[in-house]
Amino acid sequence: MQTQNTAQSNDVLLEARNLNKFYGPFHALEDVSMELKKGDIKVICGPSGSGKSTLIRCMNFLEIPEQGDVIFKGEKVEDSAKSLRALRSQMCMVFQSFNLYPHLTILENCTLAPIWVNKTPRKEAEEQAMHHLERVKIANQANKYPSQLSGGQQQRVAIARGLTMNPEVILFDEPTSALDPEMIKEVLDVMISLGNSGQSMVCVTHEMGFAREVADSVTFMADGQIIETGNPDEFFTNPKTDRAKDFLSHVL
Partner 1 sequence: MVVIAFLSTAFIEVARSVPMITVLFVASIMFPFFVPEGVEVDKLLRTIIAVSLFAGAYMAEVIRGGLQAVEPGQYEASAAMGHGYWQSMRFIILPQALRISIPAIVNLFIGFFKDTTLVLVIGLFDLLNMVLSATSDPKWLGFEVEGYVFAAAVYFIFCFSMGHYSRRLEAKQKQR
Going by C-alpha positions, the residue among 41, 39, 32, 38 that lies closest to residue 65 is 32
Q: Kindly state the smallest distance separating residue 10's Cβ from partner 1, in Å.
A: 24
Question: Considering the rule CB under 8 A, would residue 199 count as an interface residue with partner 1?
Answer: no
- CA 109/CA 154 separation, integer angstroms: 11
Interface region with partner 1, contact rule CB under 8 A, candidates 16-24, 37-45, 112-120, 232-240: 112-120
Residue type, 88: R
- CA 218/CA 237 separation, integer angstroms: 12
Q: Is 3 exposed, middle or buried (0-12, 13-18, 19+ CB in 10 A)?
A: exposed
Residue 231 per-residue DSSP state: -
Binding mask 85-104 for partner 1 (x = CB under 8 A): x--xx--xx-x-x-xxxxx-
Question: Considering the rule CB under 8 A, would residue 48 count as an interface residue with partner 1?
Answer: no
- CA 227/CA 32 separation, integer angstroms: 10
Q: Which is nearer to partner 1, 93 or 201 (CB)?
A: 93
Q: Which is nearer to partner 1, 19 or 170 (CB)?
A: 170
- CA 142/CA 159 separation, integer angstroms: 14
Binding mask 122-161 for partner 1 (x = CB under 8 A): -----------------------x-x-------------x
Question: Considering the rule CB under 8 A, would residue 60 count as an interface residue with partner 1?
Answer: yes
Q: Which is nearer to partner 1, 9 or 150 (CB)?
A: 150
Question: Considering the rule CB under 8 A, would residue 73 count as an interface residue with partner 1?
Answer: no
- C-beta of residue 4 within 8 angstroms of C-beta of residue 56: no
Q: Report the interhelical angle of 106-116 vs 151-163 (nearest 10°).
A: 20
Q: For binding to partner 1 (CB under 8 A), which residues are involved?
A: 60, 62, 81, 84-85, 88-89, 92-93, 95, 97, 99-103, 112-113, 116-117, 145, 147, 161-162, 165
